[in-house]
Amino acid sequence: MHAITESTKHKLSLLQLAEELGNVSKAFRIMGYRRDTFYEMR
């Protein structure tokens, strides 16, 4: 079993927020990231 790191948890919550809002840019602004970070994470 693999442990999920805090970094991974944060990324997952960020992607989940983007999905819920239907707006990647807005989710990343709320969480304090730039939109290009989304493409790096994905």
| Cα gap 8→21, rounded to integer Å | 20
Domain boundaries defined on the chain: 6-41
Which of these, 6, 10, 9, 5, lies nearest to 30 by C-alpha position?
10
Mean per-residue pLDDT, 15-39: 85
The more confidently predicted of residues 1 and 11 is: 11
The more confidently predicted of residues 40 and 32 is: 32
pLDDT at residue number 19: 92
Q: Does the pLDDT at position 35 exceed 80? A: no
pLDDT at residue number 1: 53
pLDDT at residue number 42: 67
Q: Does the pLDDT at position 30 exceed 60? A: yes
Backbone angles phi, psi at 4, to 5 degrees: -90, 125
